[in-house]
Chain A
Amino acid sequence: MSASLLHARNIARSYELNRHIWGNASVVHAVSDVTLSVGRNETLGIVGESGSGKSTTGRLLLGLESPTRGSISFDGRPLPVIGSPEWRKSRTRMQMIYQDPLAALDRRLPIAKQMREPLDIHQAGNLQERETRVSELLRAVGLSDAVARRYPHELSGGQRQRVVLARALVTRPDLLVCDEPVSALDVSIQAQVVNLLSDLQAELGLAMIFISHDLRVVRQVSHRIAVMYLGRIVEEGEADDLFARPAHPYTRALVSAAPVPGTKLGGRIMLRGEPPNPANQPSGCAFHPRCSAAVARCKSEMPALAELGGGRKVSCHLAGSPSENQADPSPARTRVPLNPVEAASEDVA
């Protein structure tokens, strides 16, 4: 996409663990070979389970950490070196929202003061203008001016997350990375914040990266969605299309496992086992030990993320074959289970 604001090419990030005096350190590949881009006025959702590397990807894209391999460009130029003056300046254009708003706010500062802090640091306008900007944003996120004088502990969870959002937007960023922004909130409050995020994104034309484990919430806010498994993107596509016709066996299992209100258990794809340790990745396709459709090739050969048409990319040796996925128009939920519930009970017997 030529209009993309942020573009990451084959980025990877690994960490060294357990370095001993003798012997080699074990290396954890948190993110391997991720390529993605997001344009202005677009929300890219990233879903995955814990340990899939979705948060690390978010931090890499924001330039909070540098990738061990690959390159990231923002607005046509490579991300500046971490800690450099240009990097500090670039912070005004990209912001992050975390899961726990209470941890993200300074408990000892009144709301208005901590919202003004980014403007103070980057010396944007005079004091009057900064204060106007703060109250403007408080209103934009649906909070009254009275909130400005309060402290974080005096606000409810939903109000705090609104404050965090307002503070992130105070420097008029172009890119917003949200890492599980609504996971700590109750359902009814979650809906308020989700609506607010979608509204502001559309209104301000933000490029947004929305990281979450919750498929329903991700679909609600995203235009495109990337599914991550063990540090790699295994499938990417248009938000509505992706979960309606998932092509990768892992996406299918995720969609099938997401509980839908009003429906009983049964006929679901039950994945056996748990995600492997990122420090000890399986050979070939990382998903093959849990995949019921796996063939010999999956054990030895890593599938590439290939175009499937219609903006869909999938990394699976079997996804291209028409008999497996494409010819089956039925939605994932009613699909014959790959690995039915009984399979799980075999172990029990």
Chain B
Amino acid sequence: MRGSITLEELTVSFNGVRVLHGIDLAIGPGETLGLVGESGSGKSVTWLAALGLLPPKAKVSGRVMLNDRNLLDMPDSKLTGIRGGRIAMIFQDPVSALNPMLTVKRQIGETLALHRGLSGAAIKAEAKRLLDLVGIPDAERRLNAYPHEFSGGQNQRVMIAMALAGQPDLLVADEPTTALDVTIQAQILDLLALTQRETGMALVLISHDLGVVSQVCDRVAVMYAGRIVEEAPVERLFEHPAHPYSQGLMGSLPAIDGPRRRLTAIGGTVPDASSLPAGCSFAPRCAFAETQCHEQIPLLAGIGRDHSVACLVSEAQPSAAIRYSRQKEQRIEA
């Protein structure tokens, strides 16, 4: 069975400063999950930690379960078989992620040799097929080209081809279109959605752009200051955002048509990870904050079908969940 991947109470600290405060996320086979948040919210760190890609000074705890095995307990030698094979990741800047000294064929071939055991002519044929798949024109000839001979959009296509080379069960795309122009962004998102449908792999799309995420994903998790504050199916989140931060994010977005309205900006700034406020991290910027918000840390609790939110004042927050959250926080602190 193509495995689902589950993050359980994943926490990360750098030099004693906790930047990720217990992330719980599950991605089923073939699912597309969007992870939205502003810079410093921990959306990239979550996946770098899950794949063991953070520097040694980072302290990671919790579990990352893939087929009943915890990736965090795995030795590096085993992990390399999973990274690029079962789980692939692509990044924002394709030019710095590709090796400028090697041809595209060599770079795609490396994955093919390592994870699929191909060699010689088989590598060439498969690399050509992959370049065709990601829409690089004249793939046969372009195999011997270097990254600088491609445009930004084409380099991102090459990155996607490399990621697909290991036939991953899960592709984590970290801001894959942020460095690209709008019309090229549309092409790349389309390509991601298409390959996801064709290969049946699961897709995690990390982005700061709610628009980008809603185009490709089924489910969205909103992150703020190292925590998931809301998780819901895309349509549900846009129709009924429950967390004041999610509501604020949507109010901050200008519309492209219809009457113009003043943007409802969220006041203040994202708190620094080393000096988080007590209680809910969003409370100092929240228009609905009550006394309890400055004292208790809310944890994700279900408020409807597949919809959960971490907020004390949001409607229908069961008090049991709050108690549970406090117990859990204490457990994490201990």
Binding site for B on A (CB under 8 A): 49-50, 156, 158-159, 186-192, 194-195, 213, 215-217, 219-220, 240, 243-244, 253-265, 268, 270-271, 274-275, 331, 333, 341, 344-345, 347-348
Contact = CB atoms under 8 A, between A and B. Distances in A.
A49 B189 CA distance: 17
B254 A220 contact: yes
B133 A348 contact: yes
B112 to A, nearest CB: 19
Nearest to B269: A156
A271 B214 contact: no
Interface stretch (B47-55, B70-78, B119-127, B243-251): B243-251
B151 interface: yes
A243 B257 contact: yes
Contacts of A274: 151, 153-154, 184
A194 B254 contact: yes
13 contacts: A49-B184, A158-B269, A189-B269, A190-B252, A195-B263, A219-B255, A220-B260, A261-B210, A261-B238, A271-B187, A341-B190, A348-B132, A348-B194
A262 B250 CA distance: 10
A191 B211 contact: no
A259 B183 contact: no
A217 B186 CA distance: 18
A1 B305 CA distance: 57
Contact of B254 (A49, A158, A219): A219
B185 interface: yes
B208 A187 contact: yes
Contact of B38 (A188, A258, A347, A348): A188
A50 B134 CA distance: 23
B256 A191 contact: no
A112 B119 CA distance: 64
Given A255-B256, A258-B182, A271-B186, A192 B209 contact: no
B47 to A, nearest CB: 19
B235 A188 contact: no
A192 B267 contact: yes
Contacts of A188: 38, 248-249, 252, 265-266, 270
Nearest to B39: A186
Given A220-B254, A260-B211, A274-B154, 16 more contacts: A159-B269, A188-B38, A188-B249, A189-B38, A195-B263, A243-B256, A259-B185, A259-B211, A261-B210, A262-B235, A263-B215, A265-B215, A270-B187, A271-B183, A271-B186, A333-B257
Nearest to A290: B183
B190 A265 contact: yes
Most chain A beta-carbon neighbours within 10 Å: one of B134, B256, B267: B256
Contacts of A240: 257, 260
Nearest to B189: A265
A186 B249 CA distance: 10
A187 B252 contact: yes
Contact of A344 (B187, B209, B210): B187
Interface string B98-141: 00000000000000000000000000000000001111010000
B44 to A, nearest CB: 14
Nearest to A265: B215
A347 B135 contact: yes
A159 B267 CA distance: 12
A115 to B, nearest CB: 20
Given A191-B252, A213-B181, A216-B253, A262 B266 contact: no
B133 A253 contact: no
B193 interface: yes
